[in-house]
């Protein structure tokens, strides 16, 4: 890896440690690979792929961008073959792309909440798939977003009919229903926190990753 690329990579890794709460050892474990699999390291690597723009929102890497990192290697053909084989793998939470209609409504709701709540301009990139740390601003932003879309009421409790209609075409709909039913019983200390912990629970338990 070139010194310039290494510098960008380390900056992205440092950002993702702060963003996800992953341990600082991740900086040393990523290259060479010594990374254990757990929820924090998965979130860290997802953030790293998004921040460096080496991966798509569904978690799969973009081959041409990855191969630029090893363009001068005399083993690049073998690396490319391995890259393509591994990139075809799927984790337990399969990507589920939202409909164009929902995406359009989500973008409009996102723009509204950026203006009204002061949400970061890129907050939707962290919502789908879920990589959204719990803090007061994120709770207010999410509450604004889901109530604007009509997915949740003013108490922060979600509508089963409206949420599950998003996933009717999924072959995992029964598992999604169970995850939703379990999580929608949760309550926080206020409506904003309620909406947040229900969402966090759902995206943790449901066997899908909602992507834009």
Q: Domains in the chain, please, with CATH? A: 3-90 (no CATH), 95-211 (1.10.238.20)
Cα-Cα end-to-end distance for the chain: 31
Residue 143 burial (CB count, 10 A): 23
Residue 86's pLDDT band (cuts 50, 70, 90): confident
Which range has the worst mean pLDDT, 18-32, 144-158, 165-179, 196-210?
18-32
DSSP assignment of 61-74 equals B-HHHHHHTTTT-T
Residue 105's pLDDT band (cuts 50, 70, 90): very high
* Strand ranges for the chain from DSSP E: 94-97, 208-211
Pairwise pLDDT comparison (152 vs 50), residue with the higher score = 152
Which range has the worst mean pLDDT, 89-93, 108-112, 157-161, 187-191?
89-93
Using CA atoms, how far residue 145 sits from 66, 93, 129, 132, 193, in Å, is 34, 23, 15, 13, 13
Beta bridge partners of 113: none
Q: Rounded distance, CA 7 to CA 16, Å?
A: 14
SS (H, E, C) 184-210: CCCCCCCHHHHHHHHHHHHHHHCCEEE
Query: Residue 16, exposed/middle/buried by CB under 10 A (0-12, 13-18, 19+)?
Result: buried
Given a contact cutoff of 8 angstroms between Cβ atoms, the answer to whether 16 and 47 are in contact is yes
Pairwise pLDDT comparison (79 vs 57), residue with the higher score = 79
Long-range contacts of 145-151 (CB under 8 A, 24+ apart): 145/106, 145/109, 145/110, 145/113, 146/195, 146/199, 147/195, 148/109, 148/112, 148/113, 149/105, 149/106, 149/109
Checking if the pLDDT of 203 tops 90, the result is no
Of the candidates 149, 161, 148, 155, the residue with the CA atom closest to the CA atom of residue 188: 155
Pairwise pLDDT comparison (59 vs 162), residue with the higher score = 162
Per-residue pLDDT tens digits for 120-162: 888 888 777 777 888 999 999 999 999 999 999 999 999 999 9
Q: What is the pTM of this model?
A: 0.60
Give the per-residue pLDDT at 187.
97
Per-residue pLDDT tens digits for 27-46: 777 766 777 877 778 888 88
Residue 198 burial (CB count, 10 A): 25
Number of H helices, E strands in the chain: 11, 2
Residue 183's pLDDT band (cuts 50, 70, 90): very high
């Amino acid at each position: 890896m070139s010194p310039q690329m290494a510098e960008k990579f380390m900056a992205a890794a440092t950002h993702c440690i702060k963003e996800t709460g992953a341990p600082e050892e991740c900086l040393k474990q990523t290259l060479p690979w010594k990374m254990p699999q757990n929820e924090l390291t998965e979130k860290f690597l997802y953030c790293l792929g998004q921040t460096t723009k080496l991966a798509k929102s569904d978690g799969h890497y973009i081959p041409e961008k990855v191969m630029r990192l090893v363009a001068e290697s005399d083993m690049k053909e073998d690396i490319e073959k391995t890259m393509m084989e591994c990139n075809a793998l799927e984790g337990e939470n399969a990507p589920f792309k939202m409909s164009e209609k929902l995406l359009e409504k989500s973008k409009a709701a996102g723009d509204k909440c950026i203006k009204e709540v002061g949400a970061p301009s890129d907050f939707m990139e962290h919502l789908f798939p879920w990589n959204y740390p719990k803090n007061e601003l994120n709770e207010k932003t999410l509450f604004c977003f889901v109530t604007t879309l009509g997915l949740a009421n003013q108490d922060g409790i979600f509508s089963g009919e409206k949420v599950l209609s998003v996933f009717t075409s999924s072959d995992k709909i029964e598992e999604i229903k169970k995850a939703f039913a379990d999580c929608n019983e949760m309550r926080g200390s206020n409506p904003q926190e309620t909406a947040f912990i229900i969402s966090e629970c759902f995206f943790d338990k449901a066997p899908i990753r909602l992507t834009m």
